[in-house]
Structure 1
Amino acid sequence: MKILVLHGPNLNLFGRREPHIYGTTTLAEINTRIEALARELEIEVAILQSNHEGVLIDFLHQHIDSAQGALVNPAGLTQHGVPLHDAIKAMPFPVVEVHMSNIAAREAWRVHSIISPAVRGTVQGLGPHSYLAALRALRDIVQGAAA
């Protein structure tokens, strides 16, 4: 099973960016945790962070026939990423939206996600654990879909 993990704009700054919201765990540390859990679950992961929406979309397109699912933290594209939304809808596999913070408890403009209607589900507000919970859930969804 191959799962894509996409990190959106500015997430390369985890650990430095607003630690009172996102904590001090770096993106490299998050990726290490994802990779460790993936090995335990016997999942192959392909991980990408980009500050450019088109690069994230190209990554999805590149893996359209080889991946069985994706985790996407759209970051700043959450509220305005129409092209990313459309790319996610075009994927033949389930996608789970991930957020480190609870976007529903933040600024009013962050509450609405344009990405959410295109995904199977959302995991948010658990810090780095959001990614791990989402990976476990997505594995179960994919296995259930295959059964």
Structure 2
Amino acid sequence: MIRILVLHGPNLNMLGVREENIYGTQTLNDINGMLATWAKDAGVHLEAKQSNREGELVTWIQEARGQFDAIVINPAAYTHTSIALRDAVLSAEMPTVEVHLSNIYQREEFRQHSYLAGVALGQISGFGSTSYLLGVQAALDHIQSKLQSSPSS
């Protein structure tokens, strides 16, 4: 069974009560529930975690190596500041999709740079919680494509 790790960065535990004009009214539990339903329908094992601590996110990315087939991450504010997350994604050596609820390129200039984008398989932003669904589907499609094209299949 394909295994996907979904990581939510800092302040995403406050979804539904903070800046609803930017992030909407869905809570993190709502998003995780939506992802769980998608995973069940897709026949994928999906695990979702959230942390406000950069080091904890780094550890989870490192631990994912060999345990998961892909990572989907919303690094939130760490998108624009964390070389540590970038290095962790590189060391994990697995497909990683970066997602954002808002379109970071329509926001403040400091939010328009991502340290992860250059090492991620791709980036999806601006579609609210649907960004997560697009991200996990893209990760799944990528993994399945690789499995189909491998010589042992």
- TM-score (norm: length of structure 2): 0.94
- Per the TM alignment, residue 118 of structure 1 is displaced from its structure 2 partner at its CA by 1.3
In the TM superposition, residue 92 of structure 1 has moved relative to its aligned partner by 2.3
Residue in structure 2 matched with residue 30 of structure 1 by the alignment: 31
Q: Which residue of 1 aligns with 2:121?
A: 120
- Partner of 1:134: helix, strand, or coil? helix
Contact conserved, 2:64 with 2:92, CA < 8 A, in 1? no
For 1:20-61, what per-residue CA distance to the aligned partner results, in whole angstroms no more than 9, with x for missing partners?
000000000000000100111101011110000111111112
CA distance in 2, matches of 1:61, 1:89: 10
Residue in 1 that maps onto 2:52: 51
Q: How many residues in Structure 1 have an aligned counterpart in Structure 2?
A: 147
Aligned counterparts of 1:79 and 1:136: Cα–Cα separation in 2 = 25
CA distance in 1, matches of 2:81, 2:45: 30
- The percent of aligned pairs where both chains have the same amino acid is 39
* Structure 2 unaligned blocks of 5 or more: 149-153
> Which ranges of structure 1 fall in alignment gaps of 5 or more residues?
none
Q: Within 1, Cα distance between the matches of 2:61 and 2:109?
A: 29
For residues 134 and 116 of structure 2, the distance between their equivalents in structure 1, rounded to whole angstroms, comes to: 19
CA shift for structure 1 position 93: 1.3
Quote the residue 1:143 is aligned against: 144
Cα distance in 1 between the residues matched to 2:82 and 2:116 = 7
Give the TM-score of the pair, scaled to structure 1. Answer: 0.98
Write out aligned runs for 1:1-147 (5 A). 1-147=2-148
Asked if the contact 2:96/2:122 (under 8 Å) is kept, the reply is yes
CA contact (8 A) 2:124 2:134 kept: yes
Offset of residue 5 of structure 1: 0.3
CA RMSD of aligned residues (A): 0.7
2:151 paired residue number: none
C-alpha distance in 2, partners of 1:78/1:63?
A: 19
